[in-house]
């Protein structure tokens, strides 16, 4: 299974992605996690990404694409993967298609869309900011991230719908309930 998780920041992609890893036995590739690790490690990539991330903006495509290609070329991703945070737009989806072909891997099977209302997203992320002390989870930054998602990433739904690959799941409810909805939708 090769899937892309789609949904606004705070929609539950990370949490559900981890549950899907355990269920399907394939790796989750999260560009957000990889970028945060690079920032924490103080790498050149991390320093470039930090200012952009702190402002609630998207990190440059070439950096993100490099991270993803490096990861998809690893052995454990050959039998399948769960992408979280990539592709972010239609151009990146086309790059992903070409990348998979170049790596000799099959195309994406499904795009799982976790549908959550904007106000619920804001509530979740403000709560997460308090619990985890995340500097990128301030209300103005959250609203900017949602606006960017709606403008740039939401059109991916049309891209994958045209390929009959979109599975939309209600992302509100208990974690296990949402997970069960995803598994049923993928079956």
Bridge partners of 112, per DSSP, are 5, 167
| Active-site annotation holds for 88 | yes
Q: Any binding-site annotation on 14?
A: yes
CA–CA separation, 30 and 91 (whole Å): 18
| Active-site annotation holds for 13 | yes
Q: Any binding-site annotation on 90?
A: no
**Residue where the block lists tokens 């290609």:** 69
What would the two tokens of residue 18 be?
A: 């981890």
CA–CA separation, 140 and 121 (whole Å): 13
Bridge partners of 169, per DSSP, are 114
Catalytic residue (one of 48, 78, 123, 128)? 128
| Active-site annotation holds for 134 | yes
Q: Any binding-site annotation on 134?
A: yes
Catalytic residue (one of 2, 13, 50, 124)? 13
Catalytic residue (one of 19, 88, 124, 181)? 88
Catalytic residue (one of 47, 102, 134, 161)? 134
Catalytic residue (one of 19, 50, 145, 181)? 145
Alpha helices (H) in 60-89, listed in sequence order: 61-72
| Residue 87: strand, helix, or coil | coil
Q: Any binding-site annotation on 10?
A: yes
**Binding-site residue positions for AMP:** 31, 36, 57-59, 85-88, 92, 134, 145
Just list the catalytic residues: 13, 88, 128, 134, 145
**Binding-site residue positions:** 10-15, 31, 36, 57-59, 85-88, 92, 128, 134, 145, 173
């Amino acid at each position: 299974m090769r899937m892309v998780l789609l949904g606004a920041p705070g929609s539950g992609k990370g949490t559900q992605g981890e549950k899907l890893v355990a269920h399907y036995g394939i790796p989750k590739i999260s560009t957000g996690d990889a970028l945060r690790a690079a920032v924490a490690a103080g790498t050149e990539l991390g320093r470039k990404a930090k200012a952009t991330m702190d402002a609630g903006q998207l990190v440059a495509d070439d950096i993100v694409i490099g991270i993803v290609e490096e990861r998809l070329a690893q052995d454990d991703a050959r039998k399948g993967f769960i992408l979280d945070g990539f592709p972010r737009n239609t151009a990146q989806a086309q790059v992903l298609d070409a990348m998979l072909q170049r790596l000799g891997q099959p195309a994406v099977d499904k795009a799982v869309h976790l549908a959550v209302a904007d106000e619920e997203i804001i509530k979740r992320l403000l709560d997460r900011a308090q619990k985890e002390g995340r500097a990128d989870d301030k209300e103005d930054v959250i609203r900017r991230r949602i606006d960017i998602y709606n403008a740039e990433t939401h059109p991916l739904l049309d891209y994958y719908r045209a390929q009959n690959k979109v599975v939309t799941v209600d992302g509100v409810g208990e974690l296990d309930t949402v997970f069960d909805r995803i598994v049923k939708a993928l079956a």
